[in-house]
Amino acid sequence: LIGQKAQKEGYKAYAVGGFVRDLLLGVPNLDIDIVVEQDAISFAHKIVKYLGGEIKEYEKFGTATITLKDGRKIDFATARMEFYPFPAAMPEVEETTIKHDLYRRDFTINTLAFRLNSDRFGEFLDFFEGRKDLEQGNIKVLYNLSFVEDPTRIFRALRFESRYSFQMDEGTMSFLHNALENNVLQKLSGTRIMEQLQAIVSEPNPSVIFTRALELGIIDNIFGQCTKPQQLKKDLRKTVDSVQILQEKSIIEQKDVLLVYLLVLINSYPKKAFEIVLNDFNLEKGSRLIISNFFNGGLDRIERLKSSKHLDPSEIYDALNSLSIHCLCAMMALADSDLLKNRIFLYLEELQKVDVETTGNDLKKMGIEPGPIYSKIISRLRQQKLNGQIHTKDDELNYIKG
C-alpha cells in the first residue's frame, strides 16, 4: 500500500535499516523504517490518511513517525545527501540519493533496502555487501571515522554482536580502538550515554555486553580505570541472575534494571565514577538519591547479614528495611555468599510484605493516646509477626492488651 501510494504520488520510497536486517534474519521487528527520496513528512501525511493512527513530525530532521492503532510504528526519513568520501565510483544518478543515505549509516548490515514503489516493488538494494556480512555475522563500519563521528555506534556494535552472536571485523575493531584512544566517549553527553546503557539493559543478556565493553576498555573510557575488573565480570554475571529471579517474582520491573547495573558498575570503579553518574548523567532526583544512599551507608547495612550466626527474621527486616529495590537487587548480585543472598531474597520475597493490620483507629478505640507510642507499638507488632509469634489481627490486638 505504501508502495502504491508512493508510485501514484511521485515519491520514491524504500524500506531500510533494522527492519530489512531483521526481515532477512527472520527476527521479528515491529518498527518499519522508510526512507523517501523527497519530502518524507508530506509523504507520511498522505500515508496516515490511508492507514489511520497518529503522526508526529520532526521538521528539523525531515522525519515523521506514524504510530498505528495496534502500536506498531512506521518511521519516515527524507534521504540525506551528506558528503562522504565514496570509496567506489559514483553510482548511476538514479540511485545516488538512496546510496548516499545508506552509506552514512552505522554498519553494513544496516544498509540493506527494499524498493517499495509498486513498479519495482521488492527490488533489493545491497550497495555495501551488507547481505554477505549478515550471512557471515560481521559487524562492519562503512568508513574509518564512523565511531568518531557518532560514538554511540560503539555501544550499538556491542549490542548487535550480542543480540545476533555476530562479531566486529578486524578493521572495525581497529577503528573502535582508535576512537577510544581519542577519548570519543568523553565527548558524549551523560544523557546520551544513559540512552545507550538503557538500550543495553533492554537486550536479552546485558552482562555479556557490559563484560565485552569492559574488556575493550569502553567502560574505563567513561569512568576511569576499573579497580577490580575480574570481580566486576563475576558481579555482572551474578547481576543477570539476580535480576532474572526478581523479575520472575515480579519484585522488580524492567524500568528498574538500569539502576541496578549502574550500582554494580560504580562499585568497581574509583569515586570519580560515582561523581560522574551523579553529576553528569542527568538522572532524576530519586535515582540520584538511591545511588547516593547505596554508597553512603547502604552497602554497610548488609555487614550484619554476612555473619553465619542465627538471625531472627525481624533482624533481617531491620537491616534491609527502607533500602530501595534497586539497592537490594544490586546487593544480591554483589553478595559473596549464598547465605547473604538468601537473606536478602527472603526479605524481598516474604518479610517486606508482612503487614501489621492494626490501625491508629484501633489503638484509639483501645484508649491509647495518639503519639510516638503508636509507631513503637506498630513496629513491635511487626517484629512479633515477622518472627511468627503472632499471625492474625486478633493476635495483634490481644498482644497489645497483654
> Using CB under 6 A as the criterion, which residues of the chain lie in contact with ligand CTP when the complex forms?
17-18, 33, 105-106, 110, 150, 152-153, 156
Contact 253, 222 (CB under 8 A): no
Q: How far is the CB of 75 from ligand CTP (least distance, A)?
A: 7
β-strand pairing of 138-139 with 167-168: parallel
In the complex, residue closest to ligand CTP by CB: 18
C-alpha dist (Å) from residue 81 to 49, 101, 197, 353, 367: 28, 6, 30, 59, 81
Q: How far is the CB of 264 from ligand CTP (least distance, A)?
A: 23
| Segments in 26-167 forming alpha helices (H) | 40-51, 93-103, 130-136, 146-149, 152-164
> Which of residues 3 and 151 has its CB atom nearest to ligand CTP in the complex?
151
Q: How far is the CB of 80 from ligand CTP (least distance, A)?
A: 11
> Which of residues 154 and 252 has its CB atom nearest to ligand CTP in the complex?
154
> Which of residues 21 and 301 has its CB atom nearest to ligand CTP in the complex?
21
Q: How far is the CB of 17 from ligand CTP (least distance, A)?
A: 3
> Which of residues 99 and 153 has its CB atom nearest to ligand CTP in the complex?
153
Across 9-61, where does the E strand assignment appear? 13-16, 31-36, 54-58
Q: How far is the CB of 105 from ligand CTP (least distance, A)?
A: 4
Contact 63, 45 (CB under 8 A): no
Query: Which residue matches cell numbers 539497592?
Result: 327
> Which of residues 113 and 386 has its CB atom nearest to ligand CTP in the complex?
113
Q: How far is the CB of 63 from ligand CTP (least distance, A)?
A: 11
Nearest to 328 by CA among 227, 222, 229, 256: 256
Kindly report the length of the chain.
402
> Which of residues 150 and 169 has its CB atom nearest to ligand CTP in the complex?
150
Give the DSSP letter string of 260-308. Answer: HHHHHHHTTS-HHHHHHHHHHS---HHHHHHHHHIIIIIGGGGHHHHS-
Query: Which residue matches cell numbers 573510557?
Result: 221
The span from the CA of 243 to the CA of 256, in Å, is 10
> Which of residues 63 and 268 has its CB atom nearest to ligand CTP in the complex?
63
Q: How far is the CB of 255 from ligand CTP (least distance, A)?
A: 18
